[in-house]
Amino acid sequence: ELKVEQNPLFLSMQEGKNYTIYCNYSTTSDRLYWYRQDPGKSLESLFVLLSNGAVKQEGRLMASLDTKARLSTLHITAAVHDLSATYFCAVEVLSYNTDKLIFGTGTRLQVFP
Amino acid sequence: DTGVSQDPRHKITKRGQNVTFRCDPISEHNRLYWYRQTLGQGPEFLTYFQNEAQLEKSRLLSDRFSAERPKGSFSTLEIQRTEQGDSAMYLCASSFAPRDTQYFGAGTRLSVL
């Protein structure tokens, strides 16, 4: 069964610093999502990566996908407090009899002054 | 477009009671998904519908769980004879079609005492 692993699980970083969150998955998939979740809230879609080598950027966040390595990264540039949240990657599983997202365990990001 | 709506937001019940949650998807979204999220974990897939047809049920969905989507609009998730292990956030998501982004509701947090 498909497994999705994220690391680190917790990330405490200072404002202005850069860091990368990693998402590894165990079987072939060509579609990967990144979601953000604030405490007690639902999931907000950030990026969908559709093919090998895909790169998307929004503000201080940039996501990439390497389907051959089964790896996606979420890079944070010059972190600010507003980015504090939990970030999930999710891999799509789609076939004739299934359609679902398999989520990683999440990376809880805390940005401090 | 009012987004995915879930009701209630919070439910506290005693062990052994039945509970029912409701999800209203984004208008014209044909696919509807239920996920469960426990504290510190990513969401886990439970089941999904294409219009009114329930196409897949996870092994997590025991016989005490039943989901419906009459007329392909709103959906209900019922848990019979609740157990403390059922305590979780139950998330609903919808998408227009396969391979489209899943948009999540705010969730129903269930606490079983």
- pLDDT, tens digit, for every residue of A34-76? 999 998 888 999 999 988 888 999 999 999 999 999 999 999 9
List the structure tokens of B111: 């606490």
Selecting from A97, A100, A106 the residue whose C-beta is nearest the C-beta of B42 gives A106
Whether residue B90 has pLDDT greater than 70: yes
Whether residue A90 has pLDDT greater than 60: yes
**What pLDDT score does A39 carry?**
87
DSSP 3-state percent helix, strand, coil across chain B (nearest 5): 5, 50, 45
Distance from the A41 Cα atom to the nearest Cα atom in chain B, whole angstroms: 6
Say whether residue B99 is in contact with chain A using an 8 A CB cutoff.
yes
Query: Is-contact B17 B86, C-beta < 8 A?
Result: no
List the structure tokens of B32: 């509807």
**What pLDDT score does B1 carry?**
53
Please, which residues bridge with residue A5 across strands? A24
pLDDT single digits (tens) B94-105: 999 888 899 999
Say whether residue B70 is in contact with chain A using an 8 A CB cutoff.
no
Which one, of B37, B56, B54, B48, lies nearest residue B106 by Cα? B37
Distance from the A57 Cα atom to the nearest Cα atom in chain B, whole angstroms: 17
| Continuous segment of H or E residues that includes residue A4 | strand A4-7
pLDDT single digits (tens) B29-83: 999 999 999 988 999 999 999 999 999 999 888 999 999 999 889 999 999 999 9
How much is the mean pLDDT over chain A?
A: 93
Say whether residue B14 is in contact with chain A using an 8 A CB cutoff.
no
**What pLDDT score does A1 carry?**
76
Provide mean pLDDT across the span A84-105: 90
Whether residue A91 has pLDDT greater than 60: yes
